[in-house]
Chain A
Amino acid sequence: MSSPDFYQFLGIPRRLALDPKELETRLYSLSRKLHPDLFARKSAAEQSKALDDSALLNDAFRTLRDPVKRAEYVLKAEGFDIGEQSTKDVPPELLEEVFELNMALEELRMGDDDAREQLEISRTTFVNMRDEIDVETQSKFAEWDASGERSVLAEIRALLNRRKYIANLIDKANVPDRV
């Protein structure tokens, strides 16, 4: 059995640019309707259905609240393969930065504390890149909501791939102060 569509279940239009407040309002109103107290006198089947719906509500809320998860959810539903990472989504200019990051990490491992400065520079660069991607993604969300063009979804997928790659680099650059 495939799980019902999150958007349908929440009763909101299928849009990528979602208003978090609207989402929260739907969560609260549906939670009230599914409250166990309301089902105390109902049949076991109805109680179990309400429990399932509560779990579904949580899933739907958690997925759609997060812009990345939301986009992945829609992409998947539209038949995009979101698992496989494609090399071509990573711009070549990034290589230089990745190289510098690896250099700094290696120097740090060798005990050179001066490398922390480079590491901080790398981290800032990657954080800025991620923020830029997020801004671009938001505008692509609005574009898809307006046009429903599949090519926009493909662009979003490429953006998400790049974001994932850069998020990994940020993790790498986040080295504790003393090891």
Chain B
Amino acid sequence: MAYSDKVLDHYNNPRNVGSLDKKSSNVGTGMVGAPECGDVMKLQIQVNDESGIIEDAKFKTFGCGSAIASSSLATEWLKGKTVDEALRIKNTDIVNELALPPVKIHCSVLAEDAIKAAISDYRNKQGVAQAA
């Protein structure tokens, strides 16, 4: 099975690899994983206190090319969005953008879960009631 060009691009030149200050009150951290295949994904967002816009996003993923590409793409999309807009990113958007084959759809699900986990962590820190 061949990876799409977009997956390869993100895999070879991952965007926004790294980490943000986990303890900062305007940073949300999402750690998700698929233990059966050993993938672990950490995704972090930094939200501007005044505008509520995600001004930075970082990730570090241990996993297959599709998992890395999915999280790399997710950080690209997150930057410049409000938290509410970010919540509307769906795994299917990632699947379409990266042309992921059916066996790799779980990688995009992981990325969506990571976004949600990061936002939920951010909101907890901000003391805002978590959306159900």
The residues of A with any CB-CB pair to B shorter than 8 Å are 85-87, 90, 92, 94-96, 98-99, 102-103, 106, 165, 168
Give the number of residue pairs across the A-B interface with Cβ within 8 Å. 31
Is the Cβ of A87 less than 8 Å from the Cβ of B40? no
- Digitize B42-55: 1 where CB-to-A-CB distance is under 8 Å, 0 elsewhere: 10000000000000
Is the Cβ of B32 less than 8 Å from the Cβ of A95? yes
- How many chain B residues touch A (CB < 8 A): the figure is 11
Instruction: Give the complex CA separation of A165 and B62 in angstroms.
Output: 16
Instruction: Give the complex CA separation of A46 and B60 in angstroms.
Output: 65
Is the Cβ of A165 less than 8 Å from the Cβ of B35? yes
Instruction: Give the complex CA separation of A96 and B40 in angstroms.
Output: 9
Is the Cβ of A99 less than 8 Å from the Cβ of B35? no
Is the Cβ of A95 less than 8 Å from the Cβ of B33? yes
Does B31 reach chain A (CB closer than 8 Å)? yes
A90: chain B residues within 8 A (beta carbon)? 35
28 contacts between A and B (CB under 8 A): A85-B35, A85-B36, A86-B36, A87-B34, A87-B35, A87-B36, A90-B35, A92-B31, A94-B35, A95-B31, A95-B32, A95-B33, A95-B40, A96-B31, A98-B33, A98-B38, A98-B40, A99-B31, A99-B33, A99-B40, A99-B42, A99-B60, A102-B40, A102-B62, A103-B60, A106-B62, A165-B35, A168-B38
Tell me the minimal C-beta distance from B116 to chain A in angstroms: 14
